[in-house]
Structure 1
Amino acid sequence: MKRLQYFLYQILRVEEGPSRGLSFYFDVVLMSLILLNVLAIVLESVDSIYTPYKPWFQAFDLLSIVFFSAEYLLRVWTITCDPRYSHPVWGRLRYMFSFMALVDLLAILPFYVEGIVHLLGGARALGIDMRFLRILRVFRIVRLLKVVRYVSALRIIGNVFRSKKEELIISLVFILFILLIVSCMMYFVEHEAQPDQFSSIPATMWWGVATLTTVGYGDIYPITPMGKALGGVIAILGIGLFALPAGILAAGCADELQHHHRRQAAAGKECPHCGRPFDEH
């Protein structure tokens, strides 16, 4: 049993490097199925396509659920082969609450919740709002997040967010602080001239978001001279304000890419001088 568990663990783990073992082909099949699921979700919104082929869409969804459910259960069973989750109980529980395990669970959970609701007599009989079930169907798009496990670039971006989270939180708080200030100022300047548009500070914050992000929808805008002058200053301020988190992420990406190349070079997979894989030399 241990040998079978380890064999399956090796297949389920993400294949790295140029090897073409069973793990590589499993990754290809899983990635293809994920992308086909996303395509199916998109095409289901087109009535002229979904209505005549509804049984095919449902059959494909059922096939995907069986595959993803088996994958999830096998990952939970074999994860104890990973030294980080070696304990048979606590190790599995820790893994089940990891990000990727939660993504795997959310990818299949809507199907089972809908099935249980229908078995118990339907949403109306249980007093469940039908909008809840429709939202659950939207959650199928979470299957796309399963791709994160197989795309190293997305893992690098995730590392950037983790390493720069303090700076990003500080910049976000600063942006919210500026948004509150400019919304309060614009409310007191424009409220008397446009009581319907700038009816309250929360209502004015919608204008503040559109202006600071330089989107400018045009549904709400100042008409007084002071309001126009203030709006122009705020729009210019917004250009530099939202460059702050962008600069933090750019610096984080540069640092993470350097660390990534160093790790690859230390592992003997990349040339330490040019950063290209050795097999491309």
Structure 2
Amino acid sequence: GWHGGWAMALRAFRLIRILKFEHYFEAVTLFDNVLQRSKHVLVTTGLGALIIWVGCATLLWITESSNPLVDGKFDSIPSAMFYTSLFLGGEWAVCDFTILGQIHGIFICLFGIGLFAVPTGIMYSGFYEIIKDRREQQEKRTKDLTCDSCGAKVKYFLHHRTLDEQDV
């Protein structure tokens, strides 16, 4: 009854807090910043991957739809898209392709490597740029700081004791 409603409300607040977990973890915020900075390039890469996927599936459908040894796996383009997604991910079905299908399979493997390597490189570049920007900002903040009492340049933020504090 009444206690169950309060418990449900507390669970809802806990869920809201979990959904905002990026504010509590620096790594999640960094990953989000990289995605925001690279989103246009990643979307373009994703569209290129979609074109490669559909194009490879269409070519497999053209080369293998009349092949009786593949047991109807490439009778339609959607069926060929399923197997092409497996091939692009590094798996390979046990079936006897025609010579054209085998040649096409080699190119599918090469495209698959590129489909995973390009977004990985984009993300790496985004991480590098953000970390470099953060270091530069940190250097700018600490570059010209001087101690108010003695005028020395501050390299590290440690507690600077005065003579009065040492006597106490």
Same fold (TM over 0.5): yes
Deviations 1:67-124 (Å, cap 9, x if unpaired)?
652x7xxxxxxxxxxxxxxxxxxxxxxxxxxxxxxx72xx7xxxxxxxxxxxxxxxxx
Give 2:127's aligned residue: 253
- Report the alpha carbon displacement of residue 242 of structure 1 after superposing the two structures with TM: 2.1
Q: 1:252 to 1:203 in 2, by over 3 A?
A: same
Structure 2 portions without partners, runs of 5+? 143-155, 159-168
- Percent identity between matched residues is 24
Shift of 1:249: 0.8
Select the structure of larger CA radius of gyration. Answer: 2
Per-residue deviation at 1:221?
Answer: 4.4
1:66 aligns with 2:10: yes
- 2:76 matched residue in structure 1: 200
Instruction: Decide whether aligned partners of structure 1 residues 191 and 265 sit closer, same or farther in structure 2, where only a CA change above 3 A counts.
Output: same
Residue in 2 aligned with 1:241?
Answer: 115
Identify which of 48, 64, 70 aligns with 1:174. Answer: 48
Q: Which ranges in structure 1 are unaligned for 5 or more consecutive residues? A: 1-58, 72-102, 108-142, 269-276
What SS class does the counterpart of residue 73 from structure 2 fall into?
coil
Number of residue pairs aligned between Structure 1 and Structure 2: 139
User: How many angstroms apart in 2 are the aligned matches of 1:241 and 1:217?
Assistant: 16
The DSSP-based 3-state class of the residue aligned with 2:43 is helix
In 1, Cα distance between equivalents of 2:117 and 2:33:
20
Map 1:91-170 to 2 at 5 A. Answer: 104=16, 143=18, 145-170=19-44
Once the two structures are TM-superposed, the CA of residue 217 in structure 1 deviates from its matched residue by 5.2
The counterpart of 1:211, out of the listed 66, 76, 87, is: 87
Could you tell which deviates more after superposition, 153-162 or 229-238? 229-238
